Amino acid sequence: MNALEVSNVNPAPDTARPACEVVVVGSLNMDLVTRTPRLPQPGETLTGRGFSITQGGKGANQAVALARLGASVAMIGCVGDDDYGREMLANLAREGIDHRGVRIEHGCPTGIAAITVDDTSQNSIIVVPGSNHALTQADIEPFDTLLRDARLLVCQLEVPLETVRFALQAARRHGCTTLLNAAPILPLDDALLAMVDWLVVNEIEAAALAGQAVGTPDEALAAITPLRARGCGDVLITLGAQGTVAAFGDELRHFEAQKVAAIDTTGAGDTFVGGFGAALAQGATVEAAIRLGQAAAAIAVTRAGAQTAMPYRHEFANQTDSDRKS
């Protein structure tokens, strides 16, 4: 066993380490990215313009975005016993993310995502979960103290739903704020949504959960009522270039997006979650947290890739301590 393997077989938590502000329970994938002039039609073969292999997965993406934007982060997940898995672990270490909770599943490949990006920056993605589907509550239980001491739990839906449910239950038991990015969309029961303090969805996910069309800010505003009726707390609906609709407390607002020349939207939603979550965990106002999420995503879409495009906190010179709650 190499050093990476030894350090990632669910060792007992090191109580000497400081508590992390954010715990991410989620997926780790290797992204196989092809660039083409346009997205292919069914049965069509296109000649691509470029190909790259980079670290991804919604869980790992959000962990990296959170860390780069100022939060101390721990991640719980599962990779395969292969080169992709070992590179994923090395990448988390490079980003300063506590990855003791990322287990190696022997005999199972690391998850991958086949991504095609066209010249208008639109993308299509096929995810093969691999080791992500091996993540169970048994992988979370040894790290209960991380959730006890954290300020925010961040989950997505690229790992088994029952594992997400267990993580939300554990966080709520400890009074830790919960954020669910309900992507990729799955049928969700109201009992699970009732454990979510912050539901973050795009227009497709919002439409599926609300049972009505969501394509414009007005439609997103109208979807807030049925979403909240299902039990979740506060809601953020991201609409890309049309901005973000937010319902928090008694507030219902539309935050316009920054205007940028996008070249690749891959990972933009994960970057938004990272900026929003990092600011929220560090005591910023909701408005400031949304602004940081939007600003980070606006930078990310002007760069190629997912994690490779995510900005660092020092790139936001105009964000000051005045954004924090008094």
Would you please indicate which residues are annotated as catalytic (active-site) residues? 270
Task: Say how many C-beta atoms besides its own lie within 10 A of residue 45's C-beta.
Answer: 6
Is residue 25 a contact partner of residue 159, using CB atoms and an 8 Å limit? yes
217 vs 323: CA distance, rounded Å: 25
Element (DSSP H or E) covering residue 154: strand 152-155
Torsion of CA 266, 92, 243, 217, to 10 degrees: 80
Q: Residue 111 contacts by C-beta under 8 Å, 6 or more apart in sequence?
A: 27, 28, 29, 30, 57, 79, 80, 127, 128, 129, 130, 131, 132, 158
DSSP character string of 82-98: SHHHHHHHHHHHHTT-E
Question: For 306, which DSSP code?
Answer: S
Is residue 180 a contact partner of residue 155, using CB atoms and an 8 Å limit? yes
Task: Say how many C-beta atoms besides its own lie within 10 A of residue 284's C-beta.
Answer: 22
